[in-house]
Structure 1
Amino acid sequence: MPDASPRRRLLFVHAHPDDETLTTGLTMAHYVDAGHDVHVLTCTLGEEGEVIPPQLRHLAADREDRLGPWRREELRRAMDRLGVTHSVLGEDPDSGVLSRYRDSGMAGTPSAAHPDAFAGADLAHAAGLLAAYLRALEPDVVVTYDEHGGYGHPDHIQTHRVTLEALAALGAQAPAAYCIVTPQAWAVQDRAWLAGHVGPADPPLHVPAPGEGYPPSVVPDDVPSHVVEAPQLVPVQAAALAEHATQVRVFDGYYALSNDIAARLSGREAFVRVDPCTGRPVAAAGAARHTGLLAHEGER
């Protein structure tokens, strides 16, 4: 239930529809539940995404190329589930422009050569659009990926670069900034949990073994500076995630993307606070971990 603490505004900057719910859905649900004002800004419409349901594969980029508007509607429904306000970078509904930039696809794919591909966008221009958005919205907190983009996707890396460039343009007026990370201990625990909970599926799911590598956003346990733990809100996150049906299959406590690799909905998300002008961590590694993203001004 909402409390009597001051109402704050949080902005989550993501690359494609579904990224917001996959990586920060729990945190967004937590702050909506606490009565705060939560926004998502998406940088592309995810036009190059792989479509899971067979009956919708005609939408894909290599066929009808109508996936972007479809995913925009999935995003609308998902954010309605969470109670989050959402926008797309450079959109202009009055002139029919749904997004200024296009999904670049995975590294090394031909789609990266598209003239509107976000990964190749002029940094100053894209950051200028975002800086203007920040000045209008005036958030207290901005959250995005780390410098690796979570798992190395070119659009995620570009989202990090554009966000930090826009924040630096605000100078002393920049809000508190956070990057999304996962402590190593959590990643290990999640794989152990998956090994005991993932059931039969069609197609079958792969459960990563303990010795398999982790994405670069999995960091030493002393790196994250702030955490949100709200396992009671996993059903809310799962319901929002299920709206992204072209990209995700949702199960009881876990999900899988088109790669059919099981991933846990763990009820916790971690972040590292960074200097909005430099992108460097604010606190030294090993400092006490704070609860919530408003801990810099007293979490409520």
Structure 2
Amino acid sequence: MRLLFVHAHPDDESIATGVAIGAYAAAGHDVHVLTCTLGEQGEVIPPELRHLDADHDDALGEYRLGELRAALGQLGATGHVLGAGLLNPSRYRDSGMAGSPSARRPDAFVRADLGEAITWARKVIDEVAPDIVVTYDNQGGYAHPDHIQAHRVACAAVATMASPPTMYAALTRRSWVAQDRAWVAAHVDAATSRGVTIPGADDPLTASMVPDTLVPRVVQDAEGARRQAAAMRAHATQIVVEDGWFTLSNLVAARLSGREGYAPLDPRTGLVRPGPAGEGLIP
């Protein structure tokens, strides 16, 4: 089987879908990742690399491309960058968070001509010929503009196909959120872990944290989880991986649970739809 995961920035593939990518690659399936931008607007965690960010040398995209290649090597997947050519490593630039000045740049992914972006996506889809395509839900996981755009482009590209592949959206069961927050509270000591924040049980949920009944498919795999952690370590500008948990630049601790949830996605409407409960993405 061939699987294609469509993501907005380097590291999204590892954080959101790394268990599935690693598990299916380890099982011998042909796994591909399409990344839409190089994450040029990302915040940089290591002090010695902060000169790379958009406010200084503006060289983070090329560096993160190297991290992406290393992460995909750990996962066992083949990488593609949307609109990449011989002279340009990517066609579109990271837009940054909603409302940021970087989103007004003419090359920002949120300002992409949809017809052009869909054509580039179809080129990769036609080349890979996937049986399954995975991306975000229509809210982009946590409403990041580039995640929403990646969802829009992926769905529209698949919807143009006469015999479209099966699509899934990556989602999280709310019961898992409660379990993972309780685990972090029990296992992570904020006082001795560089001042990290422990999420509270009543902290707000993101758009991708939905009722369990809306997430019928589960991927839980020890080798996939091992590969995910190794891939996340490759994204050192963005992620710090600890024993069973990790943080981003916001220093909020999150559990590495080794499980991921998915729901069938209708490419014509962009909405998740009901599906049979079960293990894995491959029928």
TM class by shorter chain equals over 0.9
Q: Name the aligned partner's letter for residue 28 of structure 1.
A: I
Aligned match of 1:191 in 168, 174, 181?
181
The alpha-carbon deviation at position 235 of structure 1 amounts to 2.4
In 1, Cα distance between equivalents of 2:231 and 2:272: 31
Summarize deviations over 1:65-116 as a string: whole Å, max 9, x none: 0000000000011111111100100001x2x200000000011110001110
Structure 2 residue 47 is matched with structure 1 residue 54: yes
> Residue 73 of structure 2 aligns with which residue?
80
Residue in 1 that maps onto 2:280: 292
Which residue of 207, 210, 222 maps to 2:201? Answer: 210
- 1:264 partnered with 2:252: no
| Uncovered stretches (5+) of structure 1, i.e. residues with no partner | 1-7, 296-300
C-alpha deviation, 1:202, in angstroms: 5.3
1:44 aligns with 2:52: no
Q: Is the 8 A contact 2:168 2:262 kept in 1?
A: yes
CA RMSD between the two structures: 1.2
Residue pairs, 1:76-225, within 5 angstroms = 76-92=69-85, 94=86, 96-170=87-161, 172-200=162-190, 203-225=194-216
Alpha-carbon separation, structure 1, partners of 2:28 and 2:59: 36
Amino acid corresponding to residue 215 of structure 2 in structure 1: P
Contact 2:103 2:111 (8 Å CA) reproduced: yes
| 1:193 CA drift (Å) | 0.6
Q: 1:22 aligns with which of 12, 15, 19?
A: 15
Structure 1 residue 281 displacement after superposition: 3.1
Q: Distance in 2 between matches of 1:133 and 1:288?
A: 29
Q: 2-side partners of 1:280 and 1:59: how far apart? A: 37
TM-score, scaled relative to structure 2: 0.97
What CA distance in whole angstroms lies between the structure 1 residues aligned with 2:241 and 2:188? 11
Q: 2: CA distance between counterparts of 1:37 and 1:199?
A: 40
Q: Residues 207-236 of structure 1: CA distance to partner in whole angstroms, max 9, x if unpaired?
A: 111111110100011001211011453222
- 2:240 equivalent to 1:252: no
SS of the aligned residue for 1:186 comes to helix
Shift of 1:288: 4.1
Q: Distance in 1 between matches of 2:27 and 2:151?
A: 27
**Partner secondary structure for residue 201 of structure 2:** coil
Amino acid in the other structure paired with 1:180: A
CA deviation map 1:17-68 (0-9, x unaligned): 0000000000001101111000000000000000000000000001000000
Aligned to 1:237: 228
Q: Secondary structure at the match of 1:105?
A: coil
Aligned length: 282
Cα separation, 2, equivalents of 1:86 and 1:123:
22
Distance in 2, Cα, partners of 1:265 & 1:72: 23
Change (3 A) 1:45 1:225: same
Alignment CA distance shift 1:135-1:233 (3 Å):
closer
State the TM-score, normalized to the length of structure 1.
Answer: 0.91
Whether contact under 8 Å (2:80, 2:124) holds in the other structure is: no
The aligned amino acid for 1:43 is C
Describe the SS at the equivalent of 1:142: strand
Specify which structure has the bigger relative contact order, considering alpha-carbon pairs within 8 angstroms and separated by 6 or more residues: 2
Deviation at 1:282, TM superposition (A): 3.7
In the alignment, the residues of structure 2 paired with residue 115 and residue 104 of structure 1 have an alpha-carbon distance, to the nearest angstrom, of: 10
What's the % identity of the aligned pairs? 51
Structure 2 residue ranges without an equivalent (≥5): none
